[in-house]
Structure 1
């Protein structure tokens, strides 16, 4: 019996080119654009490391801290699968090594985390019978998602009469999240809806948070992705506050060897002090809005 060759892009059309976006923070990066970013990353890595091929190194770790469709992780896996053929000749062993030791993600919603696992592991369960990774012991694998709550602060203290007791009850209005600036009126949605409180930026100690998610000794060489661009406040255009810079500032604290981000042409002045400078997009439809 002859086995079909392993591929992560063996179907036509590519499902990640066909999926409609679900909300303003679930703007999926096209596979072609992700590949362009990875090309740029590989070239910059080679320039900074005496011509080394980033895809031929079995020890380099990658993180997408705001995984949506999983396209960056999937394309990284595809390139590593080709690049590590001489280092780890056995295909199954090579793929398992890449998925369990080199590629990591943090989902922004429960749905996108499931989609990312399906894209990367070929199964929504990383340890399921259909997963192309064979060493995971958990369903999430290395693509984590957990519900995170906003932390409300500030606002105006007001008093209102209790309709039953007529006693004055204190409450706050116009509170916002101390981490991302989300308005409580818009994002205090109860347990049945997504909070859109992204784990990567809702913490005072990102290094401790990463250790909690992936292990105490976890260090990332490359952080790459396309973060949620703005946080809707119920308005449109300039009334929606940008938040992508919060993700970049958190990533800088992890001190990776390399970074690549997609920015709008009129983006905030962030990431200028990276050892490999961040690339900037030239078209407004190339980044998440």
Structure 2
């Protein structure tokens, strides 16, 4: 097929099998964006951008080149009036309007092949022959910068991205130091260039030295850097975990929620909805940052690729986290209107007794001084009271224990909390659990357990729970109600004036958790 024939098919909308639909995940930070998703992201830009021949576009994190390729197709159509000659129009777009840098040497090759039809942008097969093989999509190598003592000892992770020292492995090996957030791209030669539209799908995290069990989010650095260049528009897709903050995301969350230039937010809560086969807990979302916009943000939830209800324009701040479902906002407002204290002040922090997850005692209390029944990971054992590192006095109380991690491998979470455990005196737990409340009587403990089982409570938890971690912060919307009764959903709906439509929404999001035949006491 000739290039002219290909361009004609693009203009007429004929189906073309897309090789980029077949690209697999290359690594944890190289998840190619499906073309359909890239097109949906470009759709939120104002239509006028496709008729602007003086706009300069940038993808600072090229993986497959799909954003620049899709932009080129639209610009070829949109600029037909300004530049009628097709070859002249194509040359102007490719040479002067579309720029990017790849995150690795390999993704640079793929991206140039996608945009220029050739890995060598200076070769005869390139849609436009540049003077350099990289064209406008180079791979620019960067180095991490590590804080050091006077003696040269490294004292922490990279100051730009938090990467550990062992990622700096010398020339010839990928070090995951991305040029856009390490100050080397745009290059010095490009320092006077003004970018109008920045689009992309940045790397999401970098291993922070936790030996495969820990990672530091870095996508926020790409978003912040893009906005700092003051373009007209920024469109990027990221994990939605920033909605609730945590692990280095609190400052970013606060800045985004207070940014009046955030014009649109499209949220995909369902696992695998955007990236089939790629597990991104908490879902993903993309946004439009518009330099000229000042006001509320238009929020749209997607489910199985289809909008859920109409988009709603609303201010995102005021709750400490982003409330991702439009339907949840009036419910939360009703609950908060009573001004009640919340359970987050009563739920313990991690390691309530100072014992790690992998700590286990003996199978029997024999030989233990003041034996304590220990709730641990998938087993119960016995320890001496003296083995409790902190809060030994808590072992005397009636307690309600909740697992600190509650998630599911399913695409949709519907429970949000584990089943409460009522533990009597002479009990403790490892950091597998949090202590949700301590009481003098069994009745109070059982009342809290009943309250935590309600759909109402678990719905409020869901508003602050972007991942499987159920720390004390997820209880910050849950009212600290009197425990003089066993609360039911019906009683809670009446207490807070929840209307039938709102009840239906809550119960569509949270599955029922029936009471056990008998509370699991020690």
User: Which band: TM-score by shorter chain?
Assistant: 0.7 to 0.9
Residue in 2 aligned with 1:19?
23
Give ranges in structure 1 of 5+ residues lacking alignment: 47-52, 158-169
Q: What SS class does the counterpart of residue 105 from structure 1 fall into?
A: strand
1:264 is the counterpart of 2:259? no
Q: CA deviation at 1:282?
A: 1.4
Which 4+ runs in 1 deviate beyond 6 A? 8-11
Query: For 1:91-240, what aligned pairs fall within 5 Å after superposition?
Result: 91-134=86-129, 136-154=130-148, 172=153, 175-185=156-166, 187-203=167-183, 209-210=185-186, 212-213=188-189, 215-233=190-208, 235=210, 239-240=214-215
Q: In 1, distance between residues paired with 2:172 and 2:66?
A: 27
Task: Classify 1:244/1:280 alpha carbon distance in 2 versus 1 (closer, same or farther; 3 Å).
Answer: farther
Q: CA deviation at 1:192?
A: 2.8
Q: What SS class does the counterpart of residue 241 from structure 2 fall into?
A: coil
Q: In 2, distance between residues paired with 1:128 and 1:3?
A: 15
Q: CA deviation at 1:137?
A: 1.4
Contact 1:150 1:202 in 2 (8 A): yes
Query: For 1:49-88, what aligned pairs fall within 5 Å after superposition?
Result: 53-88=48-83
1:34 is the counterpart of 2:9? no
Higher relative contact order (Cα pairs below 8 Å, separated by 6+ residues): 1
Task: Classify 1:238/1:246 alpha carbon distance in 2 versus 1 (closer, same or farther; 3 Å).
Answer: farther
Task: Classify 1:222/1:90 alpha carbon distance in 2 versus 1 (closer, same or farther; 3 Å).
Answer: same
Q: What SS class does the counterpart of residue 66 from structure 1 fall into?
A: strand
Q: TM-score, normalised by structure 2?
A: 0.46
Task: Classify 1:105/1:172 alpha carbon distance in 2 versus 1 (closer, same or farther; 3 Å).
Answer: same
- RMSD in angstroms over aligned alpha carbons? 2.7
Task: Classify 1:54/1:195 alpha carbon distance in 2 versus 1 (closer, same or farther; 3 Å).
Answer: same
1:121-177 Cα offsets, whole Å, 9 max, x none, are 11111121111114x21111111212211112247x9xxxxxxxxxxxx66366421
1:279 is the counterpart of 2:279? no
Q: In 2, distance between residues paired with 1:11 and 1:65?
A: 29
Q: CA deviation at 1:248?
A: 1.1
Whichever of the two has the greater Rg, that structure is 2
1:183-217 Cα offsets, whole Å, 9 max, x none, are 003x02232310110011112xx7xx52525x343
Q: What SS class does the counterpart of residue 99 from structure 2 fall into?
A: strand
Give ranges in structure 2 of 5+ residues lacking alignment: 243-248, 281-522
User: How many matched pairs?
Assistant: 259
Q: In 2, distance between residues paired with 1:70 and 1:120?
A: 6
Contact 1:261 1:280 in 2 (8 A): no
Q: TM-score, normalised by structure 1?
A: 0.80
Q: CA deviation at 1:71?
A: 0.5
Task: Classify 1:171/1:57 alpha carbon distance in 2 versus 1 (closer, same or farther; 3 Å).
Answer: closer
Q: In 1, distance between residues paired with 2:3 and 2:171?
A: 46
Q: CA deviation at 1:120?
A: 0.4
Q: In 1, distance between residues paired with 2:216 and 2:256?
A: 19
